[in-house]
Chain A
Amino acid sequence: MMKKSATALLRRIPWVLVVFVAALTVPWLGTRYDTFLATQIAISALFAMSLNLLLGTTGLVSFGHVAYFGIGSYVCGILMKTYGMPFSIALPAAAAGSALGALVFGFFCVRLTKIYFAMLTLAFSQIVWAICFKWNDVTGGDQGLPDVPYPNLDWMSQVPFLSDLRIGGQFYVLTLIVVMLSLVAIKRIIASPFGLMLTTIRENPNRSASIGLNVRSYELAAFVIAGGFAGIAGALFGIFNRGVFADYVYWPKSAEVMIMTILGGIDHFWGPVVGAATLVLLNQEITSYTEYWPLVLGIILLILLFVFPGGIVGGLTTGFAWLRRKAGGRADA
């Protein structure tokens, strides 16, 4: 009886709000570097969450998700730097641009399955990279677009606590707001009837088709939504990174975000966030001792695949379930 109400209580807490408030304290309590890391984590978390809409929710293995992140970065960066547009226009434009890209590419991708789907997403992602790399006039080519301006955050100097922060801290707060709103949106989408359809498709695509679901349309819709959110993450990243560069659209970055998602656990809502935070922090820690971070990452990945396929959150919930069983067993006896 006690256990049931505890679980019910845990479920009633608005976790997104709690995490948001906790994360908000970083610029005041931490160093400038902590804020730097926290911004990186927030953006990576959104990127990983967007991928999980495909991976965990719909069961689509996309190896080219960074294309939409990249489109978002470039659209936002170009609009803000070359055309001097405000962030309030550039951000939605970035989301729209990447969603559009996802629509065009996704239309072709969803007609394929499994390995061919993955290969086509990779091919399109490399096409985006090649365009970013070569279209010197628009994207800056190999030099990229350095010096992307910060959004106009003057309004923050009106707000009591925010005015104390440096521009980095202020941008972090903005990022946090955008990311949290996006997470709320994603949560709603997953819980909605549409989201349930996606889960059905993941469980059994053939059965879904036989009960009349237009599997392709649903998958395409998921692809577009995931692309849009990846674009938002990309836009934020371009500003955070102080520049947009073609390197970021190269295919190993798709693998990196996939690792983040799986590290955290694709079956749980917070999995990708946990994975993103863990990977960013681990990266920082390890690279201060050695330059062989890829080696460490590879080993972690192997351990993940063989020992903890459910990721960190998966492992934790299994652990808790095991503990609960043990405790329940004792109580009964």
Chain B
Amino acid sequence: MRLQRLLLGILVASLVPAAASAASTIKIGFPMPLSGPASVYGVPIVKGAEMAVNEINASGGVLGRKLELLTRDSKASADEAVRLARELIIKDSVDFLSGTLTSAEAPAVSTIAKENKIVFVAPTSKTIQLTSPANLHPYIFRLASNTDIDGRTGAAIIAGMKDVKKVATIAPDYAYGRDAVAAFVDYIKKARPDIEIVDQQWPKLGQSDFTPFITAQMAKKPDAVFCDVFGGDFVTLAKQAGPLGYFKMINNRLADGGEVGTTDEAQALGNDYPLGIWSDAYDPVIWGANEPAAHKAFIEHLKAYTKEKYASGWAVMGYASIYALAEGVKKAGSTNSDKVAKAMLGMSFDTPIGKLTFNAKTHETEMGEFWGQMVKDDHYPFAVLKDPKYLSQGPYTN
């Protein structure tokens, strides 16, 4: 077998110069959780990215070349994401990287991007560690909001509830959960020094049984909760916490920064959705009044593309990250990552939910999200965000 490989190696090595000159596709590596609890978000993100690639290719591609998306299942594991990223670079020779959902995967893939000098646009990872001064490098760019904004917005919402005195937190035990809760605690202490943090629980990502955490938290009798459990885990949490009387006890005063306000999550939970809680989404999908025309068109296309009755609130992030990369390549006039990285500093690009700009210093868009209370709506068989308001930095105003 080794001899075969050696001969093949010689053959390939002699062919490479010829291949490079032919018009080839621009390859984008896209590891994303396609299995497990995180896939509730991961699968629609991939669909959004695929739709973007199709649209761009249909109008001629970028710099005359078509885009090619290489999707892989990262299983929401940092280990797997790193392995896939390296294979995509070494075996598949991708030009750029995007994807990864969680705050465990993205920082790990970021180090691979740095080492191989490849631009990596992370659409959804929120941990501030991704772009902290210690970890920042020329090739990393982040679309998503970050844990600071999440935690502070959640704190602003709960701070606005005048009769809340005791607060608890429950969040997954890794960078995302820890950083968001840290930001929450920091801000709520400043906004409402009279509030006491009575309990903090740290289930693991992918926890199958939340019951001991729920009952332990209920015993401390909090008035409100900041929760950052997301995706499939929130489905499990809600199904277990509901019957135990958790939401009833806190009168649904729960703020969740993990986008459980998306249509994807609401559909996954169906009738088990704890109505009355506050949550967020990058794309509320069901906009209400003043819906931008670009968004309306996007949702129509998305529904047609995915052949689903109700559009996903996550697809927009995959969609936007592809467009961001395409814009970067266009602006740089090349697929060389050094040039693209420079071009993307301070670059603005359009998305269905508004114009975003990569901050030249922090490489983030610092975007906020649409927050609102989850209510029953007779037009839809699932819970819906009521009056979604765009909140980023700054306090929530009623």
Note whether A and B contact each other (Cβ less than 8 A): yes
- The residues of A with any CB-CB pair to B shorter than 8 Å are 22-23, 25-26, 29-34, 36, 133-134, 136, 141-144, 146-147, 168, 241-243, 245-248, 277-278, 281, 291
> What are 6 of the A-B contact pairs (CB < 8 Å)?
A29-B10, A30-B13, A33-B90, A34-B9, A36-B87, A241-B82
A34 / chain B contacts, CB cutoff of 8 Å: 5, 9
**Complex: how many Å from CA A142 to CA B79?**
10
Which of B1, B2, B10, B108 meets A243, CB within 8 Å? B108
On whether the beta carbons of B115 and A242 are closer than 8 Å, the reply is: yes
CB distance from A74 to the nearest CB of B (A): 13
Residue on A nearest B202 in the bound complex, by CB: A134
**Complex: how many Å from CA A243 to CA B178?**
21
Residue on A nearest B175 in the bound complex, by CB: A143
- Which among A31, A134, A143, A278 has the highest number of chain B CB atoms within 10 Å? A143
Once A and B bind, how many residue pairs between them come within 8 Å at the CB atom?
88
CB distance from B345 to the nearest CB of A (A): 23
Query: Closest 6 interchain pairs by CB?
Result: A30-B9, A142-B174, A245-B79, A247-B79, A147-B111, A146-B108
CB distance from B79 to the nearest CB of A (A): 4
On whether the beta carbons of B91 and A33 are closer than 8 Å, the reply is: yes
Interface of chain B, helix or strand or loop or mixed?
helix
- The residues of B with any CB-CB pair to A shorter than 8 Å are 1-2, 5-6, 9-10, 12-13, 73, 77-80, 82-83, 86-87, 90-91, 103-104, 107-108, 110-112, 114-115, 173-175, 178, 204-205
On whether the beta carbons of B78 and A26 are closer than 8 Å, the reply is: no
A246 / chain B contacts, CB cutoff of 8 Å: 79
**Complex: how many Å from CA A30 to CA B2?**
10
**Complex: how many Å from CA A245 to CA B1?**
31
Q: A142-B104, A143-B104, A245-B78 are in contact. Are A29 and B6 (CB under 8 A)?
A: yes
Other than the given A30-B6, A31-B9, A146-B108, 14 more pairs (CB < 8 A) read A22-B2, A29-B13, A30-B9, A31-B13, A33-B90, A34-B5, A36-B87, A36-B90, A144-B79, A147-B111, A147-B114, A241-B82, A247-B78, A247-B80
A25 / chain B contacts, CB cutoff of 8 Å: 6
CB distance from B392 to the nearest CB of A (A): 26
**Complex: how many Å from CA A146 to CA B137?**
14
- Which among B78, B83, B103, B115 has the highest number of chain A CB atoms within 10 Å? B78
CB distance from A226 to the nearest CB of B (A): 24
Residue on B nearest A19 in the bound complex, by CB: B2
Which of B90, B111, B112, B205 meets A142, CB within 8 Å? B205
**Complex: how many Å from CA A29 to CA B6?**
6
B5 / chain A contacts, CB cutoff of 8 Å: 26, 30, 34
**Complex: how many Å from CA A245 to CA B79?**
6
CB distance from B169 to the nearest CB of A (A): 16
B9 / chain A contacts, CB cutoff of 8 Å: 26, 29-31, 34
Residue on A nearest B3 in the bound complex, by CB: A22
Q: A36-B86, A143-B107, A243-B111 are in contact. Are A248 and B79 (CB under 8 A)?
A: yes
**Complex: how many Å from CA A30 to CA B14?**
11
**Complex: how many Å from CA A136 to CA B202?**
12
